[in-house]
A = this chain, B = another copy of it.
Amino acid sequence: MTHTTDQCSARPPGRPRSERAAKAIVDATLDLLAEEGGVAGVSIEAVAARAGVGKTTIYRRWPNKEALIIDALAALKEPLPEPRGVSVREDLIAIARAFVADKSDKKRVDCYWSVLGSAERYPELVERVTREVIEPRREVMRAALRRGIASGELRPDLDVELAQWIITGTITHRARAAGAGPVPVDFAERIVDAVLAGFAAH
């Protein structure tokens, strides 16, 4: 009885053991990705050792290292806000804020670039991360821009793909740019207002 109680009290309420193990596995994968070895340093063996689980626990959920890396990267991303639909400005700022949060955490950025920088050695992995993790986030931005065109708030001839690159690119670059320091808290709002209004005098 005492033994059983101890086991139960060691388990935080509402989080079953398999979920705790999954979190430890994902965290171990991210730790390894952020280290010098990058993708090459991630193996089912190394993850199991770092997470303190058996390899079969990993294989029960992930068929291979690639699937594990993709889920781990997806877990890093800030959840995107549901568009509130009040104005395109509000929706774009909310999405841009989630992007800023993604880019402002050094470990997240290191993990991402360690994968994206390995396209020559792991082309299929990078292709899958792009398609399954990055592209859906770009699409949320495009959808907000398309709604803005449909509502008449944005120019009917706006190039949605280019506009998406401008907002996401400015955030991504600013967060990594040499010597630029941390991204200011109001950066998302300032970018959106600057590109909506345009630089030209009227």
Chain A residues within CB distance 8 Å of chain B: 113, 116-117, 119, 126-127, 129-131, 134-135, 145, 148, 152-156, 158-159, 162-163, 165-166, 168-174, 177-179, 190-191, 194-202
Residues of chain B lying within 8 A (CB to CB) of residue A200: 153-155, 196-198
10 A-B pairs closest in CB distance: A198-B198, A169-B173, A130-B179, A169-B170, A130-B178, A196-B200, A172-B173, A166-B170, A169-B169, A173-B173
**Chain B proximity of A181: nearest CB distance (Å):** 11
- Judge whether B170 and A194 touch: CB under 8 Å: no
- Judge whether A155 and B199 touch: CB under 8 Å: yes
- Judge whether B199 and A116 touch: CB under 8 Å: no
